[in-house]
Structures are given as C-alpha cells and as structure tokens.
Amino acid sequence: MTGLLELRDSLTLPFILVMAAGGLYLTVYMRFFQFKYLLLGGKILTGALDWKGSRGKITPVDAFCAGSGATVLPGAIIGSAAAFAIAGPGVLPWIWIFAFLSMPLQYAASTLSLRFRAVTQSGSMLAGPALIIEKGLKARWLALVFSFLFIAASFFSGAGFTVFALHETIAAAGPSIPAITISLIGGVLLTLISLGGIRRIGWVSRYLFMAGLFLTLLSIVVLFYNIYIYSGRLTLQSGFFPAVWGSLGTAEYFSRANLMKYALATSVFLALTETGSGKASAIAGLVRTDFPAKQGLSALVPPFLEGPVVSSVIFFLAMRLEELFPGSSSQSSFFLTRIFTISPALPYLIIPAAASLFLTSMNSWMFSGYQTAHFIGGRKSGAAFQISFLIVLFAAGYLLHGDHSRFAEIVFLGTICSGMFVALFAVAALLLQAKTARTELRKYLDTGRVRYEISKDFYLLLMTALPKNLLSRLFGFLSMLRLPRFMMVPILQAFARVYQINLDEAELNLKDYPSLNKFFTRALREGARVVDAGERTIVSPVDGTVSQFGEITDGRMIQAKGIFYTMEDLLDCPEFAPEFVDGSYIVIYLSPQDYHRIHSPFMGNVKGYSYSPGKLFMVNQIAVNGLHGLFPKNERLTTYLETKNGMIAVVKVGATNVGKISVTYDTIQTNRWIRRSKTHRYDRQILMDRGQELGRFEMGSTVILLFQKNAMRFLPKIEEKFKVKFGQAIGEFTGKK
C-alpha cells in the first residue's frame, strides 16, 4: 500500500500542472469561450439545436446522462467530500478554478471524438480518445498505450470503485447486503442493458439519471430540514464564506505544505469526476449531430455542475455536519453515518439514488471500455473486454466482502492513480490538436445558425425542462371542465378579448359554450367562409399564417433561416413517405386567435394515416427560430389524401397545451398516456369533399401540407407571414401528375 500512496503523491504534481497548463492554454487560445457559450451549451444539451436528420446514434442528453451523469452527482459528491476530508474548506476555490479550466478540455475531447469517429465494417460507430490520438496525431502506438491504460482505469473505476462506493453507502445506512450480491445484481442488469447497444444504454441512462437526480435533490431537502430539527436552527452558516475565501490573502494559505495538500485534494476531485479520462467523449462521439462543435459545447455544462454547483453544496453540508459532529470529516464513509443518524428516512432516498447513478457509471465504463478494446482488436476484442469487465465486477464484490478493507483501499487509490495516468495522456493529445478543435468551433459559428439571447435561451431551456406532455394533458382536462355559466362566460370573454377573437364568426353565442374546450373547437357560422370551387384549386385547410413554403430539396425542408428538417423525419412513415420525395410543402401556423378545425384542402379519398408520438414543444416564432427539427420532435398525426391530381399529406403537429388532436374519419386521438407509433392503411373508401372537416386541434398548433413532385404550384400571393383563411385558394394542381 505504501507504494500506491507514493505513486499517488508522485503523480499529483505533474497531473495538476498538466491539467492547469492545458486548461489555461485552451482557455486563452479559445478566447475564454466558457463564459460566452455555457448557456448555448446547455441549450444544445437539451437537443434544442439538433435534428433527427443528423448522423449518429444517440441524442446529446442521452450522451450526457450516460457519459457524465454519474460523475455530476456521485462522482462530484464523493470527490467533494474526499477533498474536504483531505484539505478542508480552503480547497473549494481550487475546485472551482479547475472546473473552469477543465471546460475547454471537455469541449476539445467531445469535439475531436466526433471529428475523428469511424464506421466499422459491421456498420457500428467507433469513437473515443484512442481514435483522436491515432487519426489526429498519426501515432497508433501511442493510441494503443492509451487504450491499455484506459482499460485498466475502467476496471478500477467502472467495476471496483462503483461496487465499493455503493456497498459503503448501503452499509452506512444499516442494511447488511454483501458486496458480492451487489456485483451480481449489477452484472445481470449490465448484461441486459448492453445487449441493446448504445441506443438502449443511452435510453436507460437517461431515466436512471433522472430518477437519481430527483432522489438526490429530495435527499438534500430532507437532510437540511432534519439538520434544522436536530440543531434547532436553519441559517446560512456565517463561517462558510470566511472559511472558504477568507484565508486566500494570507501567506500561510500559499505555503508549500498547504499548496501540496490542496493539489492532492483537487486531484482526487478531478479523478473521481473523471476529468480528462475520455470516458464521456467515447460516448459523445456517437451523438446524432451535424457539427462536432455542437456536442463539444454541450460538454461545457458537466464541469460547471460538478464544480461551482455540486461541490459548493457538499462543502456547505460538510461544514455544517462538522460543526454538529466534530471529527466527522475523517470518516471514510464521507459523513453518511452521521447523515443517516440525523434522518432515518434518508436511506430510502439515498440508496435507490446511489444504485441508479452507479449503475449508470458501470454502464458507461463498460461501453467506453468496449469501444477502446474494439479499437485494439475488433469486435472479438471488445467482447473479451465485456466478459473481463463482468469478471472484475464479480471479483471486486467478493474481495470487498468481509474484512477485505485493504482491498477497498487499493480500489480507491487505484481509481485515483489510473484516472491521473489516463488524463495525462488524453490532455497532452488534446493540446496537440487545439487548432482542430478551434477550427471546428469556428466552422459551426460561421454557419449563422447560432442564435443566443439570454432571455430567449432561458425560455427555451425552461420549455425543454418542463414536462410538456403532462402539462398539456392537465390543460386539456381543465379546458373540458364545465363551469356554471356565471363563471364560464367571463372566462371566455377574457380569452376572446386577449386574443382578439372575432366572435361574430362563431356558430353559437358565447354563453352557449359550456367549457373552454368547446369554445376552442367551435364551428363557424354558416357563410363565414367561402370555399374556392376552382377545378384545380387547393384551398387552405385552416385559418392561420404561412410560416414557410417551397420545394423539398434533397429531402430537406426549411423551418427557419439556416434551420432544416427532413421530410422522412416529419412523416416517420416508410409506407407513404416515398410519395413526397422532391415534392412541395407549406407550413401554416394557427395561433390561439384562429379557428381550430382542419378541413380537406381538396376532394379525395383518405388512404390512411400515420401517428408519431413526440414532445409537445411550443410552435411559436421563438421555438421555430431556436429549436432545430422542431416539427419532427413534436407529436404528429398525418392524414394521407389521394386525389385525382396526386397524394396530399396533411400533417397535424401537436404543441404545448394542445390537449389532443382528433380526426373525423377515425377514433384515434393524440397525447394519450400510452402512445406508440402507428401507420394504418384503409381497405375501404373514405371520401372527403374539398372543405369538408378532417379533424381539429384542442388549441392552436401547426398544419403542414405535402404534395408530390411537380403536382402543384403555389399562387403568387403566397409568401411568408401571409394570413390565410380556411377555404381560401393557396395553390393549384398543374395536371402534370
């Protein structure tokens, strides 16, 4: 053990110097871009700027949850507690500084991983630091050295340390669960998850991380409440800021002994948060994106969460516990024993949170290690690694059982040392390719697609984070409530006044609508609209505003300037989509002011429909300009109408607060609790006359019409922001189809 301790201490200084120098160099070289693009990185992380037409396997949020989710919470929590135990509160400013300096390193790792990813002979994608070294530096021997070090780190961090940390958490809470049982359960779950490939890993990691995050936040709230009950007071600790920042101006703070102590504590924090390890970048390299720098910018977020956010909370909590229980900071279980003493209810929150997040960690280490082993010797080598990983996992559980405390120390120190070794190689490789990383950023920024305004970005982030489908169902439920007339009439009057609705066009008097839903879906009075009867005339199916129109070029359609989505992603229907290759489209936005029923744009026969479950983002101008691939992201119900002049697809796009979309020719409705994609083709005729009601929205949204190639042309008066009414001519068939 002495040798390991000496190795750790001898690695600390070069590790911390390389991390500091590398982070500082990239920060200056990239012109302090962390400050400017952190919020943009958060927006990219949500998937707001990505679209389904991009190449790749998983979404940015899946990559975040799989690659960094476990380090943002348990890694940062354990790392912060360990740093506090080693050096006290004075190390927190150093953790903040190195979190800031590690942001450009994380950016470069993710960007270059995408830049140099490869497709194997079997069609799978391969990414990670090994490919960055081989392709970027043309040094396969160095890539192989790194790969073997990375595999060793995955055994220590992904197998040994996760079992050790989870066992410590459970043991501190009281339940007697052997470590071998934990490793066996983990191995079975890992096998089931890994069989589904990276898509299943990303999907499972997302839900495990969300569950772990919720339980962790709830644990913190419960803990602070119980500290208040235990101590009889709840105040912002007066000594926190002086303890953290107050000694910075003293000579003693910068003494050699203190600096070495802070360097060791910071190194432990960085190693446990896997900074520079390359694990997250191996997964980020498989993200579905059209520019490598986009995923790189989203990698700015994890270091910020790990450093200034999580570490500050843990240090505050550690100081509070140290005040209540002097000497608790020296406990190897990082205050868990004291925490569970204060609140007997906490184990029921912390244990499932830890289990969710550590399973995520095992998952990501096993996959990134597989990627690295695949780089060394192909698929057989990757499979051999997976088997070896499971064997190490079981062995760790066995050796940690009973009185094998010495093995626990080896696992902990091995995790720290292997993390430092791997980071030294990875950071050096990133620095040698700093120019490529900056070029990729410039390439993305020069596209003109990057729009970042704090107020609008915050709005989009909020809309992304909120449970839109649940809120829309709730709004739909409330809109259907039948209130007494003396209550409902003022509500409807206020709604009509705010949105300037023309009540003279409504079929009924305002007092005759028993609910908001009935008013939203109101029919028009007879004669309020005249349907153009031209032989080849295509009429607007709704009241609304033309957002975009034109030709489908190379399968792509314009959402806003510089933002595209594909026809195939929009329809999500291989059976009908080929009909509209290189065709035409028009997008019509319905505001709350507009009439909400949808009508047939031409006479024809309903051949079928396709339903694509999705999110319910807003479809207003801010969302259209800020969320890439907005319409394919949202829930959609598409009617396929066969006319004598060719096929028409009437795509009804859901949006926030759209309780549901329904059609007149079938019982299918959207935004149900249980939803799955569906395509249905009718074996009977369902004839629709031009202007006949086709369906309805239960609030405003968007309708997109698709036409076949060369089948129609739009009228000259049609342009962006042109206000159309149902029944008004918007185009005509050419007769060429």
Establish if 531 belongs to a structural domain.
Answer: no
Flag whether 462 is in a domain: no
Helix (H, G, I), strand (E, B) or coil at 333: coil
SS (H, E, C) 206-259: HHHHHHHHHHHHHHHHHHHHHHHHHHCCCCCCCCHHHHHHHHHHCCHHHCHHHH
Rg (CA), the chain: 29
Q: Is residue 577 part of a domain?
A: yes
Domain hosting 611: range is 537-733
Please, what is the Cα angle at 512 between 510 and 518, to 5 degrees? 85
Residue ranges of the chain whose pLDDT lies below 70: 1-9, 48, 51-55, 174-175, 229-242, 245-251, 324-338, 340, 402-405, 448-481, 517, 561-562, 620, 622, 626, 657-659, 671-674, 699-700, 736-737
Q: Which of 734, 732, 670, 725 is nearest to 696 (CA)?
A: 670
Sign of the CA dihedral 23, 24, 30, 31? positive
* Torsion 574-46-591-565 (CA) sign: negative
Q: How many CB atoms lie within 10 A of CB 572?
A: 18
Cβ neighbors of 559 (< 8 A, separation 6 or more) are 548, 565, 624, 628, 629, 630, 631
Is residue 174 located within the same domain as residue 261? yes
In this structure, are 506 and 555 located in the same domain? Answer: no
| 543 catalytic per annotation | yes
Is there a single domain that holds both residue 364 and residue 482? no
Q: Cα 131 to chain center, whole Å?
A: 25
Tokens of 98: 């190195």
Give the span between the Cα atoms of 506 and 118, in whole angstroms: 59
Task: Indicate the residue among 417, 447, 477 that finishes a domain.
Answer: 447
Cα–Cα distance measured from residue 624 to residue 563, given in angstroms and rounded to the nearest whole number = 9
191, 210, 325, 344 from 151: Cα distances, Å: 18, 28, 40, 39
List the structure tokens of 376. 């060394």
DSSP letter assigned to residue 507: S
119, 372, 423, 583 from 143: Cα distances, Å: 18, 10, 13, 48
Residue 599 a catalytic site member: yes
Same domain, 134 and 234: yes
- CA 637 to CA 316: how far, in whole Å? 51
> What dihedral do alpha carbons 200, 205, 210, 213 form, nearest 10°?
170
Q: Residue 167 catalytic?
A: no
Q: For position 445, what pLDDT does the model report?
A: 85
Judgement on whether residues 423 and 499 belong to the same structural domain of the protein: no
Question: Is 98 in the same domain as 225?
Answer: yes
What is the C-alpha separation between 7 and 551, in angstroms, rounded? 65
Number of domains in the chain: 3
Instruction: Identify whether residues 250 and 359 lie together within a single domain.
Output: yes
CATH of the domain at 237: 1.10.4160
Q: Is residue 455 part of a domain?
A: no
Q: Which of 167, 596, 599, 628 is catalytic?
A: 599
pTM score, two decimals?
0.76
On whether both 29 and 54 belong to a single domain, the answer is yes
- The C-alpha atoms of residue 481 and residue 392 are separated, in whole angstroms, by 59
> In this structure, are 556 and 633 located in the same domain?
yes
Residue 530, domain member (yes or no): no
Residues, the chain: 737
DSSP readout, 142-180? Answer: HHHHHHHHHHHHIIIIIIIIHHHHHHHHHHHHS----HH
Q: Please tell me whether residues 508 and 649 are part of one structural domain.
A: no
The backbone torsions φ and ψ at residue 179, rounded to the nearest 5 degrees and listed phi first, read -60, -35
Give φ, ψ of 403 to 5 degrees: -105, 30
pLDDT of residue 4: 45
Q: Is residue 529 part of a domain?
A: no
**CA-to-CA distance for 709 and 737, rounded, in angstroms?**
8
In 10 A of CB 354, how many CB atoms? 27
In this structure, the answer to whether residues 551 and 698 fall within a common structural domain is: yes
- Choose, from 543, 569, 572, 594, the residue flagged as catalytic: 543
pLDDT of residue 412: 79
Res 230: pLDDT: 65
Q: Residue 454 domain-assigned?
A: no
Same structural domain for residues 564 and 513?
Answer: no
Residue 639 within any structural domain of the chain: yes
| Alpha carbon distance, N-terminus to C-terminus of the chain | 80
Structural tokens at position 685:
């005729």
Side-chain half-sphere of 713: how many Cα atoms within 13 Å?
6
